[in-house]
Structure 1
């Protein structure tokens, strides 16, 4: 009851106050508006009268001077005397009447001066038309010194010096004469009013003393001081249209801090217009004063009403409050007790649910991790025991070491997933953006997964469609991680003999021309997922509870990490899956194009044939070949390839090179190559294209007459560099034999290894000396810097740098090396550390290192990086 009453009183009071404010504000605004409108109306009437008075004065002055000219004509009629006498008498008479010049106006628009300076008309066309029509006319002109003058013309046919007959008699008066006669600078009743005489284009004929521009339109623009230029242009346009229609024009325009009234009318016997302006400064002060008075009255009235209403409200409030305070206190106490009880119950239920969920998640995770970690650990411990027991059996030891290596890699993957997830949940996982070659990324991915695919006897294919921007800006480590997670799952959940395909295609990015959209697809013919699991596949610690996958190891974190990385890159990820059919992941990423100087990729205009069972791949490859100068045909099977080669040979249009897929339906690549060589007299260079390792089929391929090998994926640069070796050193159209495979040779290269752990040093020395490297050991960063500083120039080819070391860390050592006054201060420095997160890699690069390798080290990756940076 109390709250309803209080609410009613408050709402009523607020409404009455609002009504008073609205009513009185409206009255004040309305009176101010009416005052301004009345002043504007009075100003229009006043200025119309003022313009009419000036126009009449102007007309009287013009008529007077025109009559003076006509008097000259009457006093000295044409042919009343010889030309010389007539010209002398008319000139003297004109000067006596106050004219500064007198001239005869010819049919061609020329002036023949009888007295005074040479004159000319500023706008001759209207003046000429009026004289030709036997009309009187006033115009603007200039004298010999380019001073402005006023010209008055009266039709008159006098014989001119060259015998022609004149069109009119024209006199000139200074513009100051009209300015003084018309008194344009000020009005007696209002000294702030001033006037100008202008033409249609805005140029001044007669201007008041305050006009400092050569054109009235420019004057209007300058008055706005760079603000509201659109409004100034509108006034100029309206004024011009009014002058075109010969109508009066009146407007009040608002300048910064003031208002002005402009009134324009045309002047008789001319192409001129009288513009009068009156500032409203003093009048606006009066209006403002009136507005302030009305505002004061509104505030006073509102304050009086509010005081009365407030007094009534306070009085009534005190009466009701005293009556209801005890009841209100009791009700509040009861409500507070009830609320506390409800909140306590909810908090207890929420805490219980959270604890149950945490315990369940912890139990499930520990159960999974216990199984997944113990499995490879059991293999490592067991195989180590077997190897020790059979130390004399070399073959058995090698088998055990292979199993130990595979289990170690799997255990490392589990640890990396858990650490990555920890970084994600703490919000510390970041992206390290750098220039990346998509070709190198894909080549690296293919080389990594090839052994796993081969071990499970799976069909693996890589397809590249329409990739024109191979170099982009992104985090290459995280992009590799995304691709490896997808492919690892595909290999893991696809049975032997199944098919795995990764596809890369490029489209335009909605972000603009500086970006490129990359579409990634990983598709397999594995066991697939249920609809229920597909909905939560990207959740942490999630694995499908199905007997089909109980023997498949993993943390259930890979897809959650992948989803986080894709989201961090601003991309999207979609999954399609059906149990027993397979799974398809589609990722969309927008990458900024990297600014890399492109190599001029041009090859001889060969005729080539592309053979692959994927039509899109054939079309994309043919398009890429065309872009580097090669004309390419394509077919989808080995049988068609043989038929096409024979037809071309019969037409004497032999192919210079054939790109042949290894895995073809029906007749495979090697069988096709044999059939082609069997039907051809000469040898046609045939290059095998495949995502598989060349080494396992090289002998059989060479025997079939296959010249060489190009590894999928077929980027434009892959095709160019794969075919370029055939063009070098030969005449156009004659491919060169493929050079043997390049082997890494580090013999004689000295490398300085900074490592404080003796076991890690022993492992690194054993692995890297097998490559031919000669290693020197530095126990910490300080010793590493000193050894390099004291070395002979060129002695060390690179530095392998651990990060966590005593005395001086690897970061500090890298900075110190870059600051050395030594010829080798810029030699390659490669971080070789267990700090493997993105921020760690970025910190290494920021400190001057060239690259980063995570422990446990992959000797192949170390060799690749050494070769890359030592050659540069």
Structure 2
């Protein structure tokens, strides 16, 4: 490679040398040529000047000689005189012309004398002489004072070319000599210029090939070339300095990268460890939360499907819906990693918009009532019956907006609405629905409305202190609405309330039902409290063709009653008119519907006395109002049957053939719930407290199916399943279906499948979900139905329908237990099951161990352990109505968490021990009482 570079450099140097030599030779020959031309020109000029002077002189002499013969017109004498001229060697021709131009005498070899030279150059000029080879002179011939003719002489200039040839020969010899000298000079210059450049080129080639910037070019004597060499060496200095800095920076960068890599690796390990810890925490929290939720929702589901009075059934439905909403929130919390990763998935299932609005209003009704805020719902007539969407997400957004509205509203009303904005008139047609929440609260400034949906943003800086909250709710709402292809917005004025609204684009699965119209003009009087509910009810009545009139509180409404066809009023209204009717001052003609709140027993007496013909429970829903109008139109108001225990329509549920099922769970509450649920399905249940006990039962008894809790002490459900499968392989037993009962997020972990379980069921479960999973493995009874909860055997012993089940604590002979709590437990039982007795038996067994745990914790002096033990005993005591013992344990827990001294806690524990003894002394009699009641 280097040899190639040298060859290229040598060729370039030779080229430079050749060009330099050519330049020197050209310069020398050019100088010689210029000097020769100058000499020729100068010689020609001098020759011409002499020749002209000679001819002029000769011409004047001959002119004076021939003047007389010419004047006498004597040609012979003139020719004689002219013959003397012919003896001159350079004269070639002589001619005499008269005044009129005619030739008088002509002598010589040239036939014609050129008067103007060759026509290109001035006569007798050096160029004219060179081109024509002759010179001429013309003078007048004067005789006396008179010009009689002109004399023209034409002489040869041949000697000029001889002189020029001599000059050119001399110049050629001089040029050859000068060229030789020039060659010597050029060779000397080549060495002085090209050799340093060649050496500089070699250095450049070495630097380029090797990358070694430490070499330098040697200085030279020539100033200009040396300047080039110094510039090149300076450039190498700068490059070498730059490389040194880059190498130093690279070494520092490598150290920095290595340090950052170690830090990132440590951060990555910490993040992975934190992620594992988070997953473990979520798994633990999932199990701990879902375990009590299982008991609550399963019992609520059983209770809501029992034969109850409408009011009691409404209680159970609210409990079940509230529990489902709480479960949805828990699932959102446990599944927040999807939102962080941008993997939020929405369901597309049938959704009833009206039901979502009614459910949200029902959930917040009690809170609104406690603040004297009128919470109402309005479902527009054009709203489709069913749409495709995600009910949980829509409900979540609505709930968040209602929660905010109630938080920022101190008086007035909150209205939750839904209406069809576009499309959706027919099935499977695209539609856009708009949900809204309107309040009369504090309002929002216009400059704050643009940022209200950003994270951690609130109306003003005092909002958090005044109303609480983190400012995340509306930001989450915006993300959910955008995920549903919708938009969210707000319109508000400070002090005038706010209207939040959001839309969702979907398709209609079932179009809106036509509204039933009254046949004739009907009028209705509305006399209920609130500034929103009466208006919403009036809207619904107008849709049916009824003309409503709202009677304000304290107004005279007698004239309106006289022409009314129906009345929708509160109990207070009917109490006033009951007295009026009894005095005979008015005749009660209209259809009378009492609107009351959940838990209000005042309408019961009005129905019993015939003052009221039907009942509507607030909050009012569109479906219930339309059904009530239909009953009025048909003349079939329910009367007392609105209060009586009725057989509500129940969906068909599988009933099995008494197959044997083993249920393993470490929670006593869960075991009771599972046992009760399986008994409803006509299954023979055997319970186990952990995996070891379940394995022992499987070894000794045959089972048709096993429900296995995954998280249990001693041996968990996974280990127990593996042991059962191993037992089946060794002994050749038939494979028993095993269903995992998991409180973790369903389907997230496939470990249940890997150990040999056949299916999973997430806690909390319902009867429908439980029966559906079991039906995959056990044969159901054809045409059979699961037994429902029985009504009281003797209607005389059953509590009156108008009695409030949530009554103040009664004054009893034995105040140790609150019988109301035990009666509520009894409502949940099915058939001959005696849940209160079983609950007391479980309390009797576990409370003894709990009091010993409390005593042992007190001895250790660990306040946290004391608080936990007291909390456990308090919970089980309150659950069976042992409120005095529960209160004593609650005091211990509170003081222990506040860091009370051991002496103070010891005194409180002595008091709790005394209450424990009193409770257990009263327990046998109470249990005997429930045994006799069951018998």
In the superposition, the TM-score normalised over structure 1's length comes to 0.38
Higher strand share: 1
Higher helix share: 2
In the superposition, the TM-score normalised over structure 2's length comes to 0.36
